[in-house]
A = this chain, B = another copy of it.
Amino acid sequence: MNKPYVIGIDIGGTNSVVAVVDARGNILGSDKIKTKDYTEAKAYTDALCKCVVGLIKSTGVEGRVNGVGVGAPNANFHTGSIENAVNIPWAMGQKVPLAAIIKKETGLSCLLTNDANAAALGEMMYGAARGIKDFIMITLGTGVGSGIVSNGQLVCGHDGMAGELGHVIVEKNGRLCGCGRKGCLETYTSATGVMRTATEILATDERPSLLREITGRPLTSKDVFEAAQKGDTLAIEIFNFTGRVLGEALANFVAFSSPEKIILFGGLSGAGDFLLKPIRAAMDENMLFVYKGKTELCLSELKEADSALLGASALGWEVK
């Protein structure tokens, strides 16, 4: 193999991580830029390409990189563009032809898929979905993403944009979403959704809570997790509410593709049983009987950053 390395890029709402990966999934080196520090697409892509070129040099793999794979929100596999990603300032309301830009700036061919699809590919190759042909990956990060695998293939849809389960409307006239509609799943079960729930519960429930002691900075879902670990009733209630909303949605998703596993991934999934227990209870309560007890809910087996990165990098082998 003349070109035994690929570049994986995982574009998240907060960070864009770039890594050099070998054929066995080892990460030789990585670097990152802040996704949200840029408001213009050109400034972002310039910084990203500079980061890629710098990393190739610092890891000493010049001339031996096969291609680039990118996982990004609202990425279209067919067109190689990021299309109207609502959580990314430089990609709102426009199409950013990232694959073409990377090719032009670095000389490397590039394929894109959405970040959750990339995570699903990573999980299928190295993680909890090895040997599994039907599963759904749910990413609980700044937003809520999904990668759906059916019959061993990614469900991409006719336009390459399938699998936006974070934007399934779960509550009519519910919370306003970044996409402009109301009641999307991600307004409840993303890290930011959890903070909205926390704000609501702290405002309406007068019981004491450790969370009330955090002032002078915005609450984070990590605060809620740490409070829950200390037995804080309201923190636990926040996760119970979040899990219930997600479990009800997952029960509906099962009626679609009857997956063997649903794999949770992303920052919020670190809450573990605080989230998993209410999700499982709500799934069980709301599942059509023909599916009951058949779909396993589990956590990603890969380190959070690695899953999307490795999945994205896998696309670097597919370029022509």
Task: List residues of A whose CB falls within 8 A of some B CB.
Answer: 74, 83-84, 132-134, 148, 150-151, 153, 155-165, 167-169, 172, 179-181, 248, 251-253, 255-260, 286, 288-291, 294
Nearest to A134 among chain B residues (CB) is B158
Please give me the residue from chain B that is nearest to A260 by CB atom.
Answer: B158
Q: Which residues of B contact A165 (CB under 8 A)?
A: 255-256
Contacts of A256 in B (CB 8 A): 148, 155, 162-163, 165, 168, 253, 256-257
- In the complex, are the beta carbons of A255 and B156 less than 8 A apart? no
Q: List 22 A-B contacts (CB under 8 A).
A: A74-B290, A84-B290, A132-B158, A134-B158, A134-B162, A150-B150, A151-B153, A151-B156, A157-B257, A157-B258, A158-B258, A158-B260, A158-B294, A159-B258, A159-B294, A161-B290, A162-B257, A163-B255, A165-B256, A167-B255, A167-B288, A181-B286
When distances are taken between beta carbons in the complex, the residues of chain B under 8 Å from A156 are 150-151, 258
Instruction: Report the minimal beta-carbon distance from A316 to chain B, rounded to whole angstroms.
Output: 22
Contacting residue for A150 out of B155, B180, B251, CB 8 A: B155
Please, which residue of chain B has its CB at the minimum distance from the CB of A172? Answer: B248
CA distance A156 to B133 in the complex (A): 11
Residues in chain B near residue A163, CB distance under 8 A: 255-258
Q: How far is the CA of A248 from the CA of B172 in the complex (A)?
A: 10
